[in-house]
Amino acid sequence: MRIGLLIIAAFWVLPVSSQTLQIMGSDQGFVPFYYGNNLNKGILVEVINEFTIKTDIEADFRPMARKRHAWALEQGLANAVFANPRWMPLPDRMHAVGPVLTWRDRVFAQPERQPDSFDGLKGSICLRRWFVYSDRLERRIGTDLVRHDAYNAQQMLGMFLRKRCDYIVMNEMEFQFFALLAEVDSDRYSTPLIDAEWPVYLGILKTESVLIEAAEAFFATHKVDVEAMLSELPPPDRHISIQPDK
């Protein structure tokens, strides 16, 4: 899936005594990494809160349309972004700190359709409309797999749990978080098949030496235990109804 959905840019102002990170994320949110009406919940929100405690660098999250992130960096309104370096805005001007966590898109399958390899994928698959998947998966669509599109992750997971498709591909933390909300055992559906995997870094403009130094020191010792954090995260502001067929 396009890593662009995960991009989070950080705005800064320069008060008398310290810099302040005003962190911009997609206005649509991205569960479970950041979400809520003011992007005040999620894994990366908790990480930045801890960063603030340890470094005394204030931080604030701000929802904004994703297409404006690169513009914000170019205009000097932003100085940082969470992404893989390959997809960072202005990559030549960014210093990558981390990795902070690992992004992993996993194939999930109905319990009776557990595949051993991508060659074993036969039947139907639910995917996100307009998302890009690996070549080895795309090659099977239209021959061995019938594709059903969903507009968002909640709709896709709902289709899967209601057995409208045999497989889905989702970020594994996203699947586990929604499964917790629906009181579903995610292990029943997990497979060893990984469609995409990459490290996520905190990219900071190379001109921001103070922020780079603070971030390097913080993430050198702070390890993000994503799975341990999932069960402690609050639910989204909007009610989500995802229930499997009985």
In sequence order, the β-bridge partners of residue 239 are none
Q: In which band, very low, low, confident or very high, does the pLDDT at 213 lie, cut at 50, 70 and 90?
A: very high
d(CA 73, CA 117): 42
DSSP per-residue codes, 30-55: BTTTBBSTTS-BSHHHHHHHHHHHHH
pLDDT tens-place string over residues 131-187: 889 999 999 999 999 999 999 888 999 999 999 999 999 999 999 999 998 899 999
**Domains of the chain, each with CATH number or no CATH:** 3-102+198-230 (3.40.190.10), 103-196 (3.40.190.10)
Name the residue type at position 218.
F
Cβ contact 82:5 at 8 Å: no
Mean pLDDT is lowest, of 39-48, 54-63, 118-127, 173-182, for: 54-63
* Token duo for residue 5: 């959905």
Residue 64, pLDDT > 90, answer no
Q: Which residues contact 91 (CB under 8 A, 6 or more apart)?
A: 85, 203
Q: What is the pLDDT of residue 7?
A: 54
pLDDT band at 6; cut points 50, 70, 90: low
Comparing 32 with 24, the larger pLDDT belongs to 32
CA–CA separation, 232 vs 141, rounded Å? 37
28-45 tens-digit pLDDT: 778 999 888 888 899 999
Q: Of 34, 7, 13, 55, which is closest to residue 215 (Cα–Cα)? A: 55
Structure tokens belonging to residue 76: 């000097």
Q: Given the structure tokens 């921001």, which residue do they identify? A: 208
Helices 209-221 and 43-55 pack at an angle, to 10 degrees, of 110
Q: Is the peptide bond before 199 cis (omega within 30 degrees of 0)?
A: no
What the block records as the tokens of 165 is: 């498709």
The reported pLDDT for the residue numbered 163 is: 94
State residue 14's pLDDT score: 39
> To 5 degrees, how large is the angle CA 56–CA 61–CA 67?
135
C-alpha R_g of the chain: 19
Q: What is the pLDDT of residue 29?
A: 74
Report whether 97 contacts 10 (CB < 8 A).
Answer: no
Going by C-alpha positions, the residue among 109, 81, 110 that lies closest to residue 8 is 81
* Better-scored residue on pLDDT, 58 or 174: 174
At 233, the pLDDT band (50, 70, 90 cuts) reads: very high
